[in-house]
Chain A
Amino acid sequence: MFVEEKSDIIDEIDKLIAKYGRNRSALLPVLHGIQKKYRYISDFAQQEIAKKLNIHPVEVYSVITFYSFLNKEPKGRNLVRICKSIVCDMKGKDAIVKALERELGIKMGETTKDKKITLEYLNCLGLCDKAPAMAINDRVYTNLTPEKAVELVNKIK
């Protein structure tokens, strides 16, 4: 990691701590902020956060691994997540997954070569009345068809 990148991360962590407080219960909001900006929480970021919140880095690591929205490895710039829970499953999520895999040339869980898009599953989005549903970053889309899903993903810059 370059020095510049490191100091950028440190600045971001300081900003988040100023907002959420220098204590353990600020950990999730701080991790959320870092995840949002950098799309993953690097080893370096983990160590800095641990140092500033006065906890062991292993603790930070163990929290990150518990929550499915936090990652230690970089992903694509955009996260496309398709609901795989029961209602979306019965309302045709498989066809949507196949269409997206075909269109992007990757499988679920993979990232496109240009690092633009990562495809993933997630559990019930609480939109079962409008299934099938998916999320692109933190926006949600409902009543999908394979065609509509592909169109939405093609719009991603």
Chain B
Amino acid sequence: MEGVKHNRFGPVIFSKYERGSAIERALAMSREDILFELKNSGLKGRGGAGFPTSTKWMLTAAAISDKKYLICNADEGEPGTFKDRVLLIEYPELVFDAMVVGGYTIGATEGIVYLRGEYEYLLDSLNDYLNGMRKDNLLGENILGKKGFNFDIRIFLGEGSYVCGEETALIESLEGHRGEARNRPPYPVNTGFMGKPTCVNNVETLATISHIIVKGSEWYKNFGTSKSKGTKLFSISGDCEKPGVYELEWGMKISDVLKLVGAKDTKAVQIGGASGVCLNSSQFDRTLAYEDVPTGGSIIIFNKKRSMLKVLKNFMEFFVEESCGQCTPCRIGNVKLLEAVKMIEENKLTFGYLKKLKELAETMKIASKCGLGQSSPNPFLSIIENFKEEIFNYAGGGEYAKE
């Protein structure tokens, strides 16, 4: 795995780190101190939902059970997202060290990486990396001489389903079932994999933890805004000169990000992947932060030549395909929203019906069982609202009718 490392620069995640150092540091700390550091850092989950990481670890640590699990969510299926791929290829030490730290803190003996099937080409090198850790006693029994602390990691391959990134669907999948989200509560921290307390963390959340453990929460809090601490990895793609993964402090203006990546003639920015929201140029002075525009880190840039209706159609086709079909608002709702896009294309959509569809979209947000159906109306509502003029000219052969 060595040698693939690129020269990436960033204040936290891409800062210097030595393999094993978080494990070494954590094993010299009490579990309470580790939890305190995490709480003090203000770290929130980077998988999209933004749940405080310390709370999740605390709840799993407090659950009483003979067996607990720590799962690294490497399903990364959100269109426009690829930061976890970069971490796994170039910085596996950050991800795996934090899993060991997590195992120690919450009392888990087994770590499982749920790796999306599309990333199967990473499997061999990741397994080699884990073997190297075993050789150096960073995994296995009595890790680094800590009596009674046993922990190992295995990798489980997904089979091409987006919804399996949702943590309860992921657990269903691990147990050998269809990836259908579960009702919550009970939450995985109490009843997770095999009915045991399970903590599910995103790849980037884990990578950040390794740095916080070594360098301390006070250092981490130097970065970001008062409400959004630290930094975030952004997967930036689309119409720009320098697409790629960037580590940025929370609180950056969208217009500054566009400048940074060499985006010209930008008309629209989709933030948070297909399930995120689409902003127009009047909103580019907003900031990327939990208190303004929160995001799992995907930014897709569209220039003036793009048809936003085509963009929306692509997103809705994705959701129709990836809905697990378990609950009606999502299964039917997404089909209705996609139909509406086609009706606009054919100049058949009345504004009366559009009003009904907006109500449907709101219903989906409330009534869907999992985050897929709760968030899939986002692009529909934001694109229809923010690009009204363009879209309702479209069918009449407006300026952007042909890409």
Interface residues of A (CB under 8 A from B): 23-29, 31-32, 53, 62-63, 66-70, 84-87, 89-90, 122-131, 135, 138-140
In the assembled complex, the CB of A123 is this many whole angstroms from the nearest CB of chain B, namely: 6
- Min Cβ gap A131→B in Å is 7
- The 3 closest A-B CB pairs, nearest first, are A27-B176, A67-B159, A69-B160
With contacts A25-B194, A28-B156, A86-B311 known, what are 19 further pairs, Cβ within 8 A? Answer: A24-B175, A27-B176, A29-B157, A32-B157, A66-B324, A85-B318, A86-B300, A87-B79, A87-B300, A90-B306, A90-B311, A124-B78, A124-B80, A124-B81, A126-B76, A126-B81, A126-B82, A128-B243, A135-B118
Point out the residue from B176, B243, B302, B315 that lies within 8 Å of A28, measured CB to CB: B176
Q: Compute how far the CA of A127 lies from the CA of B179 in the bound complex, rounded to whole angstroms.
A: 24
Measured CA separation A61–B298 after assembly (Å): 35
Q: Which chain B residues lie closer than 8 Å to A32 at the CB level?
A: 117, 157, 159
Number of B interface residues at 8 Å Cβ cutoff, please give it. 51
A30's nearest neighbour on chain B, judged by CB, is B176
Q: Is the CB of B121 within 8 A of A68?
A: no
**Interface SS of B by simple majority:** mixed
The residue that A127 contacts in the complex, of B82, B84, B176, with Cβ under 8 A, is: B82
Residues on B with beta carbons closer than 8 Å to the beta carbon of A63: 176-178
Of the A-B pairs whose beta carbons lie under 8 Å apart in the complex, a sample of 21, sorted by A's number, is A23-B176, A25-B176, A32-B159, A63-B178, A67-B158, A86-B80, A86-B311, A87-B79, A87-B80, A87-B238, A90-B238, A90-B311, A122-B118, A123-B79, A123-B318, A124-B77, A126-B82, A126-B116, A127-B85, A128-B238, A135-B118
A87 pairs with B237, CB closer than 8 A: yes
Q: A85-B314, A123-B318 are in contact. Are A128 and B121 (CB under 8 A)?
A: no
**Chain A residues near B270 (CB, 8 Å)?**
86
CB <8 Å contact, B161 and A128: no
In angstroms, how far is the closest chain A Cβ from the Cβ of B238? 6
CB distance from B53 to the nearest CB of A (A): 23
Which residues of B, 211-246, contact A by the 8 Å Cβ criterion? 235-239, 243-245
Measured CA separation A29–B176 after assembly (Å)? 9
Contacts A86-B311, A129-B237 known; A69 to B117 CB distance under 8 Å? yes
Given contacts A66-B179, A85-B318, contact A129 B159 (CB under 8 A): no
Question: Which residues of A sit under 8 angstroms from B265, Cβ to Cβ?
Answer: none
B82 partner, pick from A90, A128, A138, beta carbons under 8 A: A128
Q: Mark interface residues in B164-177 (1 if CB within 8 Å of A CB, else 0).
A: 00000000011111
> Which residues from chain A contact B235 at a C-beta distance below 8 Å?
128-129
Select the residue from B77, B80, B82, B176 with max chain A CB neighbours within 10 A: B176
> How far, in whole Å, are A90 and B237 apart by their CA atoms in the complex?
11
A70 CB to nearest B CB, Å? 6
State whether B178 touches A123 (Cβ < 8 A): no
Is B120 an interface position by the 8 A CB rule? yes
CB proximity to A under 8 Å, residues B294-344: 300, 302, 306, 310-311, 314-315, 318, 321-322, 324
CB of B246, distance to nearest CB on chain A (Å): 10
Residue among A63, A129, A135, A140 with the most chain B CB within 10 A? A129
Contact A126 B243 (CB under 8 A): no
**B91 part of interface (Cβ distance < 8 Å):** no
B84, B174, B176, B315: which contacts A86 (Cβ < 8 A)? B315
- A67 & B274 in contact (Cβ 8 Å cutoff): no
A140 to B315, CA, bound (A): 23
Report B-chain residues with C-beta under 8 Å of the C-beta of A84: 314
A128→B80 contact, CB < 8 A: yes
How far is it, in angstroms, between the C-alpha of A62 and the C-alpha of B194 when the chains are bound? 20
Chain A residue at minimal CB-CB distance from B179: A66
B233 to chain A, nearest CB (A): 12
Whether B129 sits at the interface, judged by CB under 8 Å, is no
* Beta-carbon contact of B77 and A123 below 8 Å: yes
User: Contact between A85 and B79 (Cβ–Cβ < 8 Å)?
Assistant: yes
* CB <8 Å contact, A126 and B119: yes
* Least distance between B81 CB and chain A CB atoms (Å): 7
Q: Chain A residues near B161: list those with CB within 8 A.
A: 66-68
Known interface pairs A24-B175, A62-B178, A124-B77; A68-B160 also in contact (CB < 8 Å): yes
